[in-house]
Amino acid sequence: MGKECVLGVEQLQMRYGTRDVLHEVTFHVDRGEVLALLGPNGAGKTTTIEILEGFRLRSGGRAEVLGVDPAYGDERWRARIGVVLQSWRDHGKWRVRELLAHLGSYYRAYSTAEVQRPWDADELIEAVGLTAQADQKIKVLSGGQRRRLDVAIGIVGRPEVLFLDEPTTGFDPAARHEFHELVRRLAREHGTSVLLTTHDLNEADRLAERIVILAGGRIIADGTADQLARRIAGQDEVRWSCDGQAFAKSMTDSTAFVRGLFGQYGEAIRDLEVRRASLENTYLSLVHESEAR
């Protein structure tokens, strides 16, 4: 599955009774890569993630995470992955710092020369923006604060592979921005590979280096946001005015075109606007095309 590949599935299949949920799904995630797995409800995203996390046995095909078949992953393997679920229950009387320090203690036995687990509790609390709530009981946290704690729990062991299932639900814009920066830092500075599922297409566009779209249990697209957009829309549209006249032109390489405009007309260029095909338009087009087959 490739030298730098840390997560991958090949011809992955899942069947419930007589109903096929996954049809020969194949994709991979490289070390330090952030990949978004998108798709409508019922597309098979959760099933795929649960197979990779080792929580569900597949019906066929191959799956590998950090060189291990998730179906046979032991505690040492689990210490190397992190999971942020959509929601989970715990004892509301735990205090934030107390809970993270307690959970972190389970990872100390798995520290190596290369990876020192776990995070320091206060450092992690600061990273997810819960410093002011460090000594509060979980039951008094707001929904957004609770979601930040979920993220902290998922990364307390400094995972090499991180599964994020709708991670920013309940976040305000500032908290979402801070979380995106944290994920980028994990990937960039620690080499953490991230598999993200989200219904927020703007989040996927901003955070993921590559996007896989799943529909009807099949992969219908795999590439960067720009690559997928060009597959549907093909060209960017550039609008500008010069000497009182308005212009519009479509082209493949808008960056080179704009550079040429300024090289030729300089400060005479006004009202410049570059319209790229959005990920939302691309996603909807691909899903509709798949459903029409």
CA atoms within 13 A on the CB side of 158: 18
Of the candidate CATH numbers 3.40.50.300, 3.30.565.10, 3.40.50.20, 3.40.50.920, the domain formed by 5-227 belongs to 3.40.50.300
Amino acid at 138: I
Q: What is the pLDDT of residue 85?
A: 78
pLDDT at 249: 87
DSSP readout, 226-272?
Answer: HHHHHHHT--EEEEEEETTEEEEEEES-HHHHHHHHHHHHGGGEEEE
Sequence length of the chain is: 293
Residues in the chain with pLDDT < 70?
1-3, 87-90, 113, 230-235, 277-278, 292-293
Residue 130 in contact with residue 182, Cβ under 8 Å?
no
Query: What pairing do the DSSP bridges indicate for beta strands 60-65 and 5-16?
Result: antiparallel
Q: What is the sign, positive or negative, of the torsion defined by CA atoms of 249, 254, 260, 261?
A: positive
Report whether 230 contacts 279 (CB < 8 A). no
Q: For position 1, what pLDDT does the model report?
A: 46
C-alpha span between 216 and 44 (Å, rounded): 7
Q: What is the pLDDT of residue 12?
A: 97
Domain ranges of the chain: 5-227, 235-276
Alpha-carbon span 74 to 79, nearest angstrom: 9
C-alpha 271: how far from its chain's center? 35
Taking a C-beta distance cutoff of 8 angstroms, is the pair 103, 181 a contact?
A: no
Query: Tens of pLDDT along 57-72?
Result: 999 999 999 999 999 9
Is the model's pTM score more than 0.85? no
pLDDT of residue 2: 44
DSSP-assigned beta bridge partners for residue 83? 163
